[in-house]
Amino acid sequence: MKRRIFGVMIPPMLITREHGSWAVLVVPMLVNVYVAGRWSGDFVLVVLVILGAFLAYVPAQVFLRHHSGVRHPVDKLSQARFWGMVYAGVAICAGVVLLAEGYIFLLAIGGAGAMLFYANFYCVKHYSKMAATDLLAVAGLTLGGLSVYYVLTGSLDRTAFALYVLNFLFFGCSVFYVHMKIQFSASKRSAMKWREKLIFGKSNLLYFAALVVIVGVLSAFRLISFVVLIAFLPMIGHGVYGTVKLSHKVHFKKLGFILLGQSILFGSLLCCFM
């Protein structure tokens, strides 16, 4: 329902319904603030840029769907237009100030985020929502942490790169784990031998193996310490246990809270080991 504020009709706020995306956005930002070890007024500006761009995703998606043949009611388009302008306006205004201060590489980060957003939209529209498309979204959302580090330190160094990769790898765990749960739940199979479950969850387990290898490579190049792997162990343990104990009955709301807790734990541990 619209509300009138100072004579202007304000439509209901338009925000994402994918609540887990907030964790993917916020946790890397907080980790990068801690690791950067600095604080400035520009942090507020870069947060406004990130939040504005993130919130503008839903209105932009409405218009992309509309112009690609999925018709929306006039009220929905009006709502998306209003809030899209508000969100984008906040991001642009704060971004212009940061660019004027010399943070030019924000343009490259923002451009990468826009490309990942469109790639996610295109793949979901022409194929389906799958692990690969969600990984594109994760790659875009974790750029927020990279932006924070850059603004607070003034550089995109080895630590910035390592933090981006580590955050991406962690939230990729959630992507494969949730898709495994969805697929198994859709199969309606109430009983399955543990060996069959391991085969069913092979993508999930292979991702964990690849994660360990990548952390090892980063450690070999002295970008991080191998002890950083400890930050991933709770999620890896949860994922392996969940694979062995697969059930067609999944309480996704409960799972969401568990994964949120895993995200907070990961962020806390990563801060300790970086």
Return the pLDDT at 96.
97
Return the pLDDT at 186.
72
User: Token pair of 164, please?
Assistant: 């981006």
Domains of the chain, residue spans: 1-156, 158-274
Mean local confidence (pLDDT), 69-92: 86
Return the pLDDT at 71.
74
Which range (4-18, 134-148, 194-208) has the least confidence? Answer: 4-18
SS3 249: coil
Count other C-beta atoms under 10 Å from residue 206's C-beta. Answer: 11
HSE toward the beta carbon, residue 137, CA cutoff 13 A: 25
3-state helix, strand, coil in the chain (%, to 5): 75, 0, 20
Mean local confidence (pLDDT), 40-64: 93
Return the pLDDT at 73.
77
Mean local confidence (pLDDT), 55-61: 91
pLDDT tens, residue by residue, 173-229: 999 999 888 887 777 666 667 777 777 788 899 999 999 999 999 999 999 999 999
State which H helix or E strand residue 189 sits in. none
Contact call for residues 29 and 164 (beta carbons, < 8 A): no
Which range (24-28, 160-164, 169-173, 177-181) has the least confidence? Answer: 177-181
pLDDT tens, residue by residue, 94-121: 999 999 999 999 999 999 999 999 999 8
pLDDT at 60 over 60: yes
Contact call for residues 207 and 177 (beta carbons, < 8 A): no
Average pLDDT, the chain: 89
Return the pLDDT at 6.
47
Nearest CA to 94 out of 136, 133, 56, 137 is that of 56
Return the pLDDT at 76.
81
pLDDT at 4 over 60: no
Whole-angstrom Cα distance, residue 255 to residue 171?
Answer: 14
Q: Is the dihedral of CA 216, 218, 224, 228 positive or negative?
A: negative
Alpha-carbon separation of residue 3 from 6, 12, 254 (angstroms): 10, 8, 34
What are the contacts of 150-157 at 24+ separation with CB within 8 A?
150/103, 150/105, 150/106, 150/109, 151/40, 151/42, 151/43, 151/45, 151/46, 151/98, 151/103, 151/106, 152/32, 152/33, 152/36, 152/38, 152/39, 152/40, 152/42, 152/43, 153/36, 153/38, 154/103, 156/105
Mean local confidence (pLDDT), 51-75: 85
Return the pLDDT at 235.
96
Whole-angstrom Cα distance, residue 83 to residue 11?
Answer: 8
